[in-house]
Chains A and B, each alone.
Chain A
């Protein structure tokens, strides 16, 4: 099946600098429609659509909104997560560059639904080049009478700030370290007020759902993964870029048919904390039931070295660990160190056991998703490419390769 552009429908079609072109493409019609509905009805529609978060975790969007709506208090916030720091992801950048207006409309509808008057877009520092475009889109949208005040907050360079509670710490002005949970943001989030935080792409789906109805939306996808997903494809492919596919589409279609990969050895799905799958799994459907993440797809061909890739992935995670909890702080360091040894051909038999034990400990005891999922590339590569580790075990002073 070819691409299906629901989220990206306006990209390359409208002029992102000019709201008139957006209004001519049904822009703000969903927001107008939503305001004729009771907020609870808007939330019902999002729930019925089966929309799940596109930022990686796949939490049901409508449920999150409902929790925030029902939380007591007049002061509530909406946050759009545009921190996009995962290795190999650039789809939110593509969306912001090409269609900031749909995102803003999605934020306005979210604010109406949960009862928030203030919203923030948290934009990573690396995307400062998009700030003027986005600022202009926000002010043009405000001129159309949006009730919610949308403010753009820029990050300052830290991968972990994409994690929702770390992001809130950062907006509040502190170190971007994850918080202990509960409480969860819909109860107590930004400045301890009820807050919903959603990924850029999640919010892009909202105007489509409101305008066309939950029934229309939930026709596409699989049982537990409705709608489409926007993927960022990079690495050993002929045509790197952003592709939108119906959820449940096979990995092969994306990587080989669309992006033009050849001689694939493995694919890293979901970035540094994501899964690593061998070519034999190329027909795996991409969905929340199987493998998805935030849509980062890095393709490695047969010339690539597994250990090198896993080592670099763990090195990244060790660098970006915020250091608040020791399983992650120490665990990522220790894993990177062991992998460096294998990379040099100086691995030891017992190191593999240590890696496996660290992986288990980290996944159950780390505080946030970074540390919990950091062992994934290690455990996946040990499962599918164990012989690559074996080849790097030092044998009586002689390196076998």
Chain B
């Protein structure tokens, strides 16, 4: 491995590791990263809030990201969102009380050929119909 590859000074890399480990970026964690990189907290916070895959709020164990961009919208992505809202009783931005799922609306995930599409964690699900949703959700603990 080259020097740059393992550079521990890389702020984004540090935040991504923390996000993967903790599921979100609590304030203490941001402060700790700022201290160890000798950076102002505002800079760390600025990066933590810039990227959609980083979150400063707690998320569910499984994050559902339904694509809302045009190719999916044309294929009724709104029906998919409604169906998930009905089944889980949460709105976009919300997390189920048992902490099992969070729901978010996102922009194109590069699966427009199988629109409407969504990601659950890192898995792609496409050609969605409201009927398929229950089965898919069941497979996430």
Binding site for B on A (CB under 8 A): 84-90, 92-93, 117-118, 124-129, 149, 151, 154-159, 170, 172-176, 191, 232-236, 240-242, 268, 298, 300, 304, 309, 312-313, 316, 319-320, 322
Contact = CB atoms under 8 A, between A and B. Distances in A.
Interface of B: 1-2, 4-5, 9-16, 43, 46-47, 50-54, 69-71, 73-74, 106-115, 119, 122-124
Given A88-B71, A234-B115, A240-B115, A129 B124 contact: yes
Given A156-B52, A156-B53, A93 B70 contact: no
B112 A234 contact: yes
Nearest to A127: B110
A125 B118 CA distance: 14
A172 B54 CA distance: 17
A312 B70 contact: yes
A129 B122 CA distance: 6
| Most A-side CB within 10 Å, residue of B12, B13, B70 | B70
Contacts of B12: 156, 170, 173-174
Given A129-B124, A172-B10, A85 B70 contact: no
A174 B14 CA distance: 11
A362 to B, nearest CB: 20
A304 B75 CA distance: 12
A86 B108 contact: yes
Given A126-B119, A149-B2, A156-B52, A242 B113 contact: yes
A234 B75 CA distance: 10
Contacts of A151: 1-2, 4-5
B69 A126 contact: no
B107 A87 contact: yes
Given A156-B16, A157-B52, A234 B71 contact: yes
